[in-house]
A and B are shown apart, each in its own frame.
Chain A
């Protein structure tokens, strides 16, 4: 079997890949049989609880745990003094204390841990821990945080990181422009709102092995972070991290794993459970970065964009986590999927005493794409050009330069997605759709937007895939791939790729994910990378398995390995199917000779040459997407309904159409939530939004008709030609809804979410200025 299979050259006659194969975890999920980590139960358990900060910013003068320790039923009370190793964690910069020592920097800071015989006793014990705080001035506005004299939250100041990409001469660009657009956009603090809050189990086994069962987006990395805090040999820690009840980036960082580990080594071997309530998850959990994006765009009358300048300021909250990377990715994508000759893109990641912001589906791109897309729409209006035409005119193609100055070598589907949008019934007949309103105070609008999103980690971060394939006694294959199942269905894609490459039935493939004891580290489930990376890893391992099988079959059949053909559940001699051996026979043969039945496959993600000061740009690979949406605005109230969404992704070859639809629909609903409803409101460092009572996520009644039209550009580096899609599916819809609101009622929202109150205010302001202009 040649390497070509992995590289998308043999797309004909595929049996599993590209087909709507049912989710391998589907039956368990729909029947409720699926066990998530917190669904497990162990006898003789201990309940864990976390004491959180009472202030957004305060000095800790003392912590007295004696009363809590004296409470009957309390097993242990732990503070920073009980941490055997390094008191800190964080994927990139480990600046977040496991347990606060001298200072708390946000309302979610953990100060102490309690282990007790019951959850109620643990809760009572939290109330008995006496922490003497000296409240300090809270820094809650990132712009003010950067001003000299602001209280410094970390030794290196409040500016955590910056990323800058410049190309051409942006001022010259503005000089040659016919039109210039300049606006500032604000984005909300979106919450992942996964159905499964952070939680799990920690168990110290009799032999000292530490087992952590906790949903996560990178169990192998959790293992290293736990080991660092506990001063343990990482090889003595086993992390089970799959399946997740949703992640979206919110479980990319350590959540409660280290608390579980600390409690587990202090309970004399009793299993410890900890499971955050929704309220505690809101208080302590990660969020999306609120951005302030000031953008200036210059364009010619014919629609050519000649200059784009962006200054993005991101509120990363109390600790770094992945904030620096989020801002860098935002900067990399700030000019959109276009070639703009003159750019000046700057991003600043700033510490405040607000809740921590980190990874979240889109990773900084959602916030910045709104600026370029809105300016293109304003250009369309001003220059009287079609918004699709302008985008097509400025979009870069494969093997052309992007705004960053590099040649994009991987596949680029922007123009194809725009052409598909142009051909949709909704776009062609938009005027008649818009006219079809039932009540005169309702106005409809139809609009499009397009965006891109990188696939993979980018330069400077390890990015690798690794898979094992083991032949089992019953002739089936066990595929080990650490990348967790977080609801996206990547496990099903792995089974499809394995069945395709091994020429076997999908039921003969068992996929093991998220178990550090049984799988090789293959990086995170994030960065839209799971299908591509995992697919490539399996497609690299599979030929090794085929070779192993063929060699053994050749030995058993007494022919040269080149004469062996892989058939259905057996291998036979070329041209003579009767001369065959089963997988079971091969297994027995291997075992009898004391040989391994397991092979591995490793690969590294392709990379580009880094742009100076960009903190990781450009990426080798991007997914592209166009959305067409129709909204209806009630002008009496300002309430907006999204009625229709058409998602047009270019994710390369579609590995599983049903899985892709799932992503497109989920992304659309999450994008609707981001644009119209969701925001964790904070005031002076305190949460005003405390639970799902006031955190408004779309329900089925806010879910419109969503259609998926896939544009399959052939990506030669991908598994069977695939790229990645998980994040871009929620990006253009944000700008498309904004533009459709403008099409409906003539107002441009600059602060999200576009709540009824905000839209209504803009409508009134517009009417007022029209009245003033007409002099009446």
Chain B
């Protein structure tokens, strides 16, 4: 596997966003390098989705800053966002449109030129094995196939920075393998990829770097090549919880 290197695709510094009751993100620094698959792992409610929303401008930070390819997201324009692909919580899959229809609008929204649109849609239908569902309305797709469609919609414009929130949710084993291969290929081509998960799933296992999040903070990392990652993960989470209680 090629080693990640170069100016970061993503730099987040001192990110804070706090909600009433104390939940949120309480000061997180994070980088994603070109060619890197960076996995964020944490239990439910650890702050992963809030962090991803902050990175993509879905939430405004109380403090701190986020840069994508060196551009502050608060002032990022179409040129920056054209290079980003994401699925955070709900995939772009409109019930009334067919699989192909959804991919076609995703291509338009991601800035694909009209001349290139059909080729991009055909390519990603092939990559994610969606031919059977190309002419089926999304409302008739299973949850897993809708997720697969949403992932294809997020990646069809070959983004150089990818953010996926628990992407293997509802995917069948074949879908997980397709996604894993897709991410490995994109990282090898220089994309920076940030993937969150509440468990050490198949995608976390292809990561170059695994960052552990708990209670809105980065509490450590895991060695992707290490053995018994689950034990190491829970040891960190329990130590963090015990430390805060003490």
A complexed with B: no
